[in-house]
Amino acid sequence: MAVSDGTTPPQDQLSDYRRREQSITISHEASQGDERHELLTLNIGPHHPATHGVLRLLATLEGEVVRDIMPIIGYVHTGIEKTAEDKSYWKVIPVVERMDYLAYYFNAMAFCGAVETLMGVDVPPRAQYLRVIHLELNRIMSHLVWLGTSALDLGAVSMFWYCFRERETILDLFEMSSGQRMHTRYIQVGGVFEDIPTGFAARLRAFLKEMPVRADQYADLLEKNQIVVERLRGTGIVDQPTLLELGVTGPLLRATGNPWDLRKAQPYSSYDHFDFRIPVGAVGDNYDRFRVRHAEMYESVKIIEQALEGLPEGPFITPDRKIALPPRHELATSMEALIHHFKLVTEGFRVPPGEAYYPLESPRGELGCFVRSDGSAKPARVHMRDPSFHNLQALAPMVRDGYIADLIATLAMLDPILGGIDR
Amino acid sequence: MEVTREALDDFRVRQLKARDMLRGDLEGEELERYVEQSVLTTTLDKAVKWARGNSFFPLTFGLACCAIEMMAIVGARMDIARFGWEAFRASPRQADLIILSGRVSIKMAPVIRRIYDQMLDPKWAISMGACCSSMGVFNNYALVPADKFMPIDVHVPGCPPRPEALMHGVLRLRDKVMGNESAGWRDRYAAYGTEEILGETSGESAAINVYQPGDTAGA
Amino acid sequence: MPDATGLELTAQELREAVPDSILDTEFHRGRAALVADPGKTHAVLERLRANGYTFLASLHGVDYYPEEPRLGVIYELLDMERVDRISVKARLATSEARIKSVVDIWVGANHPEREVYDMFGVVFEDHPDLRRILMPEDYEGYPQRRDFPVGGEPVLFTFNEEQSYGKWQ
């Protein structure tokens, strides 16, 4: 629909669909100087191969140059936070996991962390290390999916298969430890669901030996590739103060040079026991974002190696029977264990009233979970501060005055996950 | 390779017709119809169905978590290209299968309907995952089960379904297209007679596992 | 997190700078929260930003039903230099659910405020573009209020199978 001179066509010429969208204001300013250029409003999505989920973008174009962009979300809004108010704390974990569907361990960890803060539960060290192992594996997996789909957007189609091959290895590990590939409910309030089985450590070591080699291969394919460099270098630049205004964290902020990482700044779950570095970029363009995420994969491998070597002995979940289920063999002998089991499964544990906000560093930025409890067995409010929701606001400054092709590349490097945005 | 199973009485009728033809008892219109059915049309029909079933063009339609497992089925381990389905088209005009992978929110439902309407006949739909088949984990105000606004051929349960489960759904759809619909588990366990057949009620099935004649019986 | 004394000092300083702004302080399990008067929240946040809490980590709404005032808007602030977090809570009654928008302090408050408006019905004054963000534009009702029904389809058993919506033919 061509809009010239900043005026809209008369109402009866608009289609029904377009009339419904009239409430959305689009900038009608002409570009530089006195020349009036025709501004075209193009609707990208919600069904579009390059939008990484159901994101709808209303792009105002002048030729091939993007003058303004307005993201419209809500196409996968699932009311997860409302559903979570209806279920007991134990049952909220699988519901909340499905928000940011590539970082499911992080969602569960944020929620469990908030509940543990409210209850004052101590997580045993073995559980903390196991959580770290799985969280970092999830980080690698999320970056692999990002790399595969982003390279697919840029045209490097074979990267998709290579990255998903690695992802299958990681999902095999997840399946070994929890029985599920995705949305594993492995992280529970007070620890983890189950101890790692025999053979997990060996398989993990084999993966850790292989992963840096594969990451090197991906670097060889993409890092100095002429097409990748020309498309990503110098595009989508936003300076650091703007990003901080917008509330952007994670690899996007680190690409501009700010080494803010909650694993180092406010360590949780024994991250301070591990020695790892934070990759930062220099300029803040798409190429830096790409390199930062790629380098994070190596650092995650280092963390997992250290966690695996130093895995302490001990319980894998808090021994407090009022919070965690007793082990099955106790049910046959101890009456108390049976009663605890019954209470936990039917009603769930009660959390003393209060509010807690638990932030952690997910692959996309600061993921925080706000839990308000009113003393009953169901949470009164669960809210996830999802990083993609806040990062999406940075899209408009990133793509302004760039080409559509840069829009696609920037959207790929932004790594939005619509499940987290819409919740 | 699939065990085809036509209904028993159909076979019996054909048997009788074959016997009559051999005896020279079929004549006139009946004879013509018999010849038509057995010789050309059936073969052409079957060939077309075979070609269709082996060359689906799925639409790239990922909504939420199930989309990641759908991408995994495209990956090298569970390779959907074995069956000829690797050509994922981005435009609904060029696709004939829509795999609804993920949760359908009320804002998205009209969009999906528009896309489904833009697809050309013959078209099929697989509802992948629990969220679009039924309401899934989230039984709340924001979701719509896909059965409410578009016809679905195969529902694949799971949250998210393993790629193998989606592969099973894909193969069931392929069977359906090629005319080899099996009765699923009723076949494997010889559980005939367990279907609830609702006489001549409207198409709205009141219970979930009701067998309507000419329907993949909820397997 | 500032400890309890640090929180009290901050509250005191804010009370001096913006009179009658801080109604209460809460310090629970290491989380410092200031309960602010809704009319003065904007000034409080400006001062906190000037004091070093330059990053708005989260802006979200809570429904405190059945306590009155019922709705709450919570601002989670982060000081990246000193690695400090503080929360500001503004309680609003449903009848006067209006609060001044903080988009002029942090540009990134745009979408979160729209989400609070969408889910709870809190009107943010001076917001550049206040409309629904997650629900369809013409949706009626504020879903995340506690008295809004969860909704959904009934789970079918044999006794209620007539309620099935059937299959689209």
* A282-308 tens-digit pLDDT: 988 999 999 999 999 999 999 999 999
Whether residue B206 and residue C161 make contact (CB cut-off 8 A), yes or no, is yes
**Predicted-complex ipTM score:** 0.91
Q: Does A354 touch chain C (CB under 8 A)?
A: yes
Q: Does C165 touch chain B (CB under 8 A)?
A: yes
pLDDT digits (tens, 9 = 90+) for C12-47: 888 888 887 888 888 888 888 889 888 888 988 998
pLDDT at B208: 42
Q: Chain B residues with CB-CB distance to A under 8 A?
A: 60-65, 67-69, 71-72, 74-77, 90, 92, 102-103, 105, 107-108, 111, 115, 131, 137-143, 159-160, 162
Q: Does A247 touch chain C (CB under 8 A)?
A: yes
Place of tokens 């913006």: C18
Whether pLDDT at B209 is above 50: no
pLDDT at C96: 86
Alpha-carbon dihedral sign for residues A237, A239, A245, A249? positive
Q: Which residues of B touch A53 (CB under 8 A)?
A: 62-64, 67
Query: Considering only residues 2 to 41 of chain A, which have any Cβ-Cβ distance to chain C shorter than 8 Å?
Result: 20, 23, 25
Long-range interactions of A254-260: CB distance < 8 A, separation 24+:
A254/A278, A254/A279, A254/A280, A254/A281, A254/A292, A255/A280, A255/A281, A255/A283, A255/A284, A255/A285, A255/A288, A255/A289, A255/A291, A255/A292, A256/A281, A256/A283, A256/A284, A256/A288, A257/A281, A257/A282, A257/A284, A260/C80
Provide the pLDDT confidence category of residue C84 given band limits of 50, 70 and 90: confident
Which of A75, A93, A138, A165 best tests the B interface by mutation, with the highest count of B CBs <10 A?
Answer: A75
Q: Give the distance from residue B63's alpha carbon to the nearest chain C alpha carbon, in angstroms.
A: 15
Per-residue 3-state assignment (H helix, E strand, C coil) for chain A: CEECCCCCCCHHHCCHHHHHHHHCCCCCCCCCCCCCCCEEEEEECCCCCCCCCCCEEEEEEECCEEEEEEEECCCCCCCHHHHHCCCCHHHHHHHHHCCCCCCHHHHHHHHHHHHHHHHCCCCCHHHHHHHHHHHHHHHHHHHHHHHHHHHHHHCCCHHHHHHHHHHHHHHHHHHHHHCCCCCCCCEECCEECCCCCCCHHHHHHHHHHHHHHHHHHHHHHHCCCHHHHHHHCCCCCCCHHHHHHHCCCCHHHHCCCCCCCHHHHCCCCCHHHCCCCCCCCCCCCHHHHHHHHHHHHHHHHHHHHHHHHCCCCCCCECCCCCCCCCCHHHHCCCHHHHHHHHHHHHCCCCCCCEEEEEEEEECCEEEEEEEEECCCCCEEEEEEECHHHHHHHHHHHHHCCEEHHHHHHHHHHHCCCHHHHHC
pLDDT at A17: 57
Nearest to C165 among B140, B141, B147 (CB): B147
pLDDT at B148: 85
pLDDT at A361: 93
Whether residue C151 and residue B140 make contact (CB cut-off 8 A), yes or no, is yes
**Residue A10 tokens, joined:** 């008369």
Report residue A358: phi and psi, to 5°. -115, 110
> A-B interface: how many C-beta pairs under 8 angstroms?
100
Whether residue A78 and residue B61 make contact (CB cut-off 8 A), yes or no, is no
Provide the pLDDT confidence category of residue B195 given band limits of 50, 70 and 90: low
Average pLDDT, chain C: 86
Query: Considering only residues 83 to 142 of chain C, which have any Cβ-Cβ distance to chain B shorter than 8 Å?
Result: 134-136
Q: Which residues of C touch A68 (CB under 8 A)?
A: none
Q: Does A405 touch chain B (CB under 8 A)?
A: no
pLDDT digits (tens, 9 = 90+) for B54-85: 888 998 788 888 899 988 898 888 888 888 88
Task: Tell me the C-alpha distance between B72 and B74, whole Å.
Answer: 5
Whether residue B141 and residue A49 make contact (CB cut-off 8 A), yes or no, is no
Residues in chain A with pLDDT < 50?
Answer: 1-7, 23, 25, 27, 30-34
Nearest to C168 among B138, B148, B207 (CB): B148
Whether pLDDT at B211 is above 50: no
